[in-house]
Amino acid sequence: MKAIQTEQLSLGYKDELIIEELDLTIPKGEITVFIGSNGCGKSTLLKSLARLLKPKDGSVELDGKDIDKTSTKDIARQLAIMPQSPTAPEGLTVLQLVKQGRYPYQSWYRQWSEKDEEAVQYALEVTGIKEFEDRTVDSLSGGQRQRAWIAMTLAQDTDIILLDEPTTFLDLTHQIDILDLLSDLNEQEGRTIVMVLHDLNLACRYADHIVAIEGKSVFEQGDPDEIITPQLIHSVFGLQCQVTCDPICGAPMCIPYSKQRQMKGANRYATQQVQAN
């Protein structure tokens, strides 16, 4: 089953091509994560899947239909995207922000149907920010704010959710928090999630499907267990690393080499390991 498909998709700004003639399929009901080095075009690709960027050539298909030929309001009811570090105007409350997610279902005289109310309530509750609904977005902490944006995206009630680096600027606790939330949405409600993540190990842990982008195209894609190898990481990121097994989830885990710091404290961890056993 496919959620989104691209055909001979070329993307770019001005004369520069960033993605060239790409055929890509995003599986339905799974978590897909785009990885790649800075500037490789993963955010650009994500934007184009949500029609925020017009292709130079080729097409993006949603449910088998070209998004360029589908009404933008219809797409907004099937697919939602959360851009990278969005900003809310000063003084906007959480409730007012989350309400905006209902935009594709509303008109100037129909602004608060029962369905709208249910969807907003659900979004506030599932993201755990119900208690902050009357606070302004700028008064929240980084993690809470990110939850508010995710709540707005959820209120849009779409089967497909795209997120551009939803964990940037968050500490590790809140990164895990957000990713667990997205993982729940995927597992319990079968939503298709596509996101760009910077942290390779978290990408491997949460993704069902990884798409590694390099050289204006997809370098490799598939189940992280199968595709993440030192060779792949070297080709995509230009980084030397070892791949081992995440001791908690069993997903692949990349441990990079450094120039100077090798084997420092290795003995201490080795002893701890022994004691733990």
Among residues 19, 26, 47, 197, the one that binds another protein under rule CB under 8 A: 47
Does 111 contact another protein by CB under 8 A?
A: yes
Q: Residue 222 and residue 224: Cα distance in Å, rounded?
A: 6
Using the Cα atoms of residue 46, residue 52, residue 57 and residue 58 in order, give the sign of their dihedral: positive
Query: d(Cα 184, Cα 189) in Å, to the nearest integer?
Result: 8
93 within 8 A of 133, measured Cβ to Cβ: yes
Tally the residues of the chain. Answer: 277
Decide if residue 139 touches another protein (CB under 8 A). no
- Residue 87 interacts with another protein (CB under 8 A)? yes
Beta strand pairing status for 209-214 and 252-256? unpaired
Three-state DSSP at 31 gives strand
Decide if 227 contacts 59 (C-beta within 8 A): no
159 or 208: CB nearest another protein: 159
How far apart are CB 88 and another protein at their closest, in Å? 7
- Asked whether position 108 contacts another protein by CB under 8 A, the answer is yes
Strand 79-82 relative to strand 160-164, pairing: parallel
* 134 makes contact with another protein (CB under 8 A): yes
Q: Which residues between 54 and 83 bind another protein (CB under 8 A)?
A: 71-77, 80-81, 83
**Backbone Cα Rg of the chain:** 20
Q: Which is nearer to another protein, 85 or 242 (CB)?
A: 85
Point out which span in 17-25, 31-39, 45-53, 226-234 binds another protein (CB under 8 A): 45-53
Distance, in Å, from the CA atom of 204 to the CA atom of 206, rounded to the nearest integer, reads: 6
Query: If binding is defined by CB under 8 A, does position 128 make contact with another protein?
Result: no
Please give the Cα distance from 96 to 152 (Å, whole number): 9
CB-wise, 150 or 212, nearer to another protein?
Answer: 150
The nearer residue to another protein, 163 or 254, going by C-beta atoms, is 163
Tokens of 105: 């279902």
Rounded least distance, CB 87 to another protein, Å: 7
Stretch that binds another protein, among 27-35, 89-97, 218-226, 237-245 (CB under 8 A): 89-97
Contact 152, 206 (CB under 8 A): no
Residues 154-173 that bind another protein (CB under 8 A): 156
Both tokens of residue 81? Answer: 């995207």
**With respect to another protein, which residue has the nearer C-beta, 79 or 204?**
79
- For residue 32, give the DSSP letter: E
- Of 101 and 143, the one with the shorter C-beta distance to another protein is 101
Beta strands at 192-196 and 160-164: parallel, antiparallel or unpaired? parallel
Based on the shown chain and the rule CB under 8 A, indicate whether residue 250 belongs to the binding site for another protein. Answer: no
User: Using CB under 8 A, which of 8, 57, 66, 113 touches another protein?
Assistant: 113
Phi and psi (nearest 5°) for 255? -120, 115
The footprint of another protein (CB under 8 A) covers: 47, 50-52, 71-77, 80-81, 83, 86-93, 95-97, 99-101, 103-104, 106, 108-114, 116-117, 133-134, 136, 156
